[in-house]
């Protein structure tokens, strides 16, 4: 059984007391998206890399194809710029959240 610890929070000028378990307290905190860092949203296999380091891209430019659950997902740039670093190559297996391409 998880040990619970009391915590308080403020909502609409009212203070509430609640009990949080350790699993909730240890959760990964939300981070704002970084459009210049392209991460895998699902685990899969890199089938094709469409870009090279230094190549200029615009938002919407196809960067690579990620195969997951027998479906080919076209991963596109969310921001314009130049391809800075490509962290994957064709045939690589990627985990959810893994950094694949950086745009500078």
Domain count, the chain: 1
Q: Which residue range forms the structural domain that includes residue 45?
A: 37-103
Residue 9 domain flag? no
- Other CB atoms closer than 10 Å to residue 74's CB: what's the count? 11
Residue 12 domain flag? no
CATH number at residue 90: 2.40.50.100
pLDDT of res. 96 = 95
- Residue pair 73/66 in contact by the 8 Å Cβ criterion: yes
**pLDDT tens-digit readout, 65-94:** 999 999 999 999 999 999 999 999 999 999
Residue 23 domain flag? no
**pLDDT tens-digit readout, 11-49:** 899 998 888 788 888 888 888 889 999 999 999 999 999
Residues written for the chain: 104
Residue 58 domain flag? yes
Residue 86 domain flag? yes
Rounded to the nearest 10°, the torsion over CA 85, 63, 73, 34 is 60
Block residue for tokens 């490509």: 86
Residue 20 domain flag? no
């Amino acid at each position: 059984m998880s040990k619970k610890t009391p915590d308080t929070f403020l909502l609409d000028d009212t203070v509430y007391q609640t009990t949080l378990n350790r699993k909730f307290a240890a959760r990964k905190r939300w981070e704002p998206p970084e459009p210049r860092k392209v991460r895998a949203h699902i685990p899969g296999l890199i089938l094709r890399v469409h870009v090279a380091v230094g190549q200029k891209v615009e938002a919407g430019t196809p960067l690579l194809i990620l195969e997951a659950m027998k479906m080919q997902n076209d991963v596109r740039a969310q921001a314009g710029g130049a391809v800075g670093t490509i962290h994957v190559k064709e045939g690589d297996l990627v985990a959810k959240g893994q950094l694949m391409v950086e745009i500078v």
